[in-house]
Amino acid sequence: MTGDFRVSVLRLGHRRERDKRITSHLGLTARAFGADEVILAGEEDDSAIETWNSVSERFGGNLDCHFEPKPMNWLRRFAVSGTVIHLTMYGESWRKVTGEIPKDKPAVIVVGGTKVPAELFSIADHNVSIGNQPHSEVAALGVFMDSWLGPIEESSKFAGGQIEVVPSERGKRVVNLEEE
């Protein structure tokens, strides 16, 4: 859990053949920047969920991943007690609104793939833009999460993995924790 509240990322409108790499990278970015959960919606795709689970198993952390067949129903229920944040190039500037978004109740960050339902703009508590030009949703998610949540304390967030990357100025240093 991130701080005192749970952060989920909902990948809305995933298309298995067209979006598999970008969706995979969205989940990895969500994990690396502190999400507790990644929810896949659109075409069901076990490969994305398997990738996210595999990375968490190898590198540590407790990322919950699952498919949601009815994402708009899920969002309507979530909005009753949680904060819905929609990343969209049509939203308000992240620099303006990031400080206004509460951190005292569960939150879901919605990242669309295909054209999102117009209803999402009214369900969302915050429609947030990283830039008002077409850009990568992976980059938008990383920028937003870092600015809203701040730096991740990696030692505690990613405990329990099989391997650990040791920061190094040159070369690769990886510790196999299962051998120790």
pLDDT at 155: 60
- Asked if residue 2 belongs to a domain, the reply is no
- Asked if residue 30 belongs to a domain, the reply is yes
- Asked if residue 1 belongs to a domain, the reply is no
- Asked if residue 166 belongs to a domain, the reply is yes
Positions in the chain whose pLDDT score sits under 50: 1
Q: Rounded to whole angstroms, how far apart are CA atoms 73 and 153?
A: 34
Condensed to tens digits (0 to 9), the pLDDT of residues 73-87 reads: 999 999 999 999 999
- Asked if residue 92 belongs to a domain, the reply is yes
Q: Rounded to whole angstroms, how far apart are CA atoms 52 and 38?
A: 9
pLDDT at 1: 45
Domain count, the chain: 1
- Asked if residue 141 belongs to a domain, the reply is yes
pLDDT at 143: 95
Helix-strand-coil percent breakdown of the chain, rounded to 5?
A: 40, 25, 35
123: domain CATH number? Answer: 3.40.1280.10
Residue type, 60: G
pLDDT at 156: 66
Provide the whole-model pTM.
Answer: 0.91
Query: Are 131 and 147 a contacting pair, CB within 8 Å?
Result: no
pLDDT at 165: 86
Condensed to tens digits (0 to 9), the pLDDT of residues 59-71 reads: 988 899 999 999 9
- Asked if residue 36 belongs to a domain, the reply is yes
pLDDT at 3: 57
Which residue range is the domain that position 29 belongs to?
A: 7-176
- Asked if residue 72 belongs to a domain, the reply is yes
* Helix (H) / strand (E) containing 170: none
